[in-house]
Structure 1
Amino acid sequence: MGQAITALDCEVVELRGKVTHLGAETSSLHQQNLHLAGELESIKDAAATREKKLEEVASELSVARGQLEEAASSIASLTAEKNAVEASKKKLEVEKADLMGVGAEALADGFELALEQIKCILPDLDLSQFSIYHEVVDGKLVPPS
């Protein structure tokens, strides 16, 4: 029986060693678990921060899209206004050319009328030297240069 007790004592000692070893492993695993839980928490915080930044960027993108649509609308409006102004400019240029022609004709007609009046008063005067293009400089008639 002494031998049975010794064998049981050996088993008890062996089992106590295993229990101690398992306790140490449990403690180590518990420490690892705490460490991993801390890492998981920091990863969750980082993910939340990134998600918040993503929401901010999405909001900024939405605002930028609105501004872009506004700018596109403004560009379309300004382009239409520019086209209308260009059409008006062309119309005014045509009117200007017409008025210049009318003014030139009126000037030429007035000059011819004045020559006719001079002919009535001085029928013998040679009017061939007079031209609408001559200028009077220092009291003298000067041909165009």
Structure 2
Amino acid sequence: KLCPYHFVPPGLLIPLTAIYDTRYGEIEEKQSELRRNLHFRLGLPLDRPLLRTSNALTFGAMEMRDRSSSKSGSSLLRDVHKEIPSSGVSGGIMSLIDGSYEYYHYLHDGIDDNGWGCAYRSLQTIMSWYRLQQYSSINVPSHRF
């Protein structure tokens, strides 16, 4: 069964419609090869999955598919590294992340994870990066079950 999916990848000024055979899953080799070919023909980077069905736009009552873990109006900070001034440490090396992420901090969302939540909040921050770069459509894990 053929189904159209609409995308607006970075660098393209107009929307793109790709028609995929829905009998195949996204990781099926035929779909992967088709997406790789589209990336090549459109001059899109080959290191980012920009044309997965989970990254497609939605129309009608829904706006663009939410690619982040949070809903609109989120209290999460995004890309906090951009506003941090240089430390001025002599001989220090600055390394920055490429792409956007949401910053999850302990005691956020009404969860008292002070003293144990740092690693889990770091995991949430990393997962948000994968979602915002469109490598994953899996929700960022929460403390709630």
When normalised by structure 1's length, the TM-score is: 0.18
Bigger relative CO (Cα 8 Å, ≥ 6 apart): 2
Point out the structure with max Rg over C-alpha.
1
The structure whose residues are more often helix, as a share, is 1
The structure whose residues are more often strand, as a share, is 2
